[in-house]
Amino acid sequence: MDVLSGGELRRAVVLGSVTDVQFDAIFPARIEAASRCYWTPMRVARSASELLARHGARNVLDVGSGAGKFCLVNACLAPGIQFTGVEQRPSLVRAATDAARLLSLDNVEFRLGDATTVDWHLYDAFYFFNPFAENSFPIEDQFDDTVELSRRKEHADVERVESGLLRAPIGACVLTYHGFGGRIPACYELADEVESGLSVVRAWRKRTDGRPEDGYWLELPEGGITRYEESSAERRVLRAVRAAAVDADGAEEV
- The SS3 of residue 215 is coil
Closer by beta carbon to ligand SAM, 42 or else 186: 42
* Binding footprint of ligand SAM on the chain (CB under 6 A): 38-40, 62, 64-66, 69-70, 86-89, 92, 114-116, 129-132, 157
Min dist CB 238 to ligand SAM, Å, is: 20
Residue nearest to ligand SAM (CB): 64
Residue 88 and residue 217: Cα distance in Å, rounded? 27
The closest alpha carbon to 48, from 127, 113, 145, belongs to 127
Min dist CB 183 to ligand SAM, Å, is: 17
Closer by beta carbon to ligand SAM, 20 or else 157: 157
Min dist CB 164 to ligand SAM, Å, is: 11
Min dist CB 24 to ligand SAM, Å, is: 10
Min dist CB 191 to ligand SAM, Å, is: 21
Please name the residues in contact with 64: beta carbons below 8 A apart, sequence gap of 6 or more.
86, 87, 88, 115, 128, 129, 131, 132
Residue 87 and residue 133: Cα distance in Å, rounded? 15
Closer by beta carbon to ligand SAM, 112 or else 237: 112
Closer by beta carbon to ligand SAM, 199 or else 207: 199
Closer by beta carbon to ligand SAM, 55 or else 89: 89
- Report how far Cα 84 is from the mean position of its chain's Cα atoms: 11
CA distances from 152 to 91, 128, 136, 159 (A): 24, 20, 10, 11
Residue 42 and residue 103: Cα distance in Å, rounded? 16
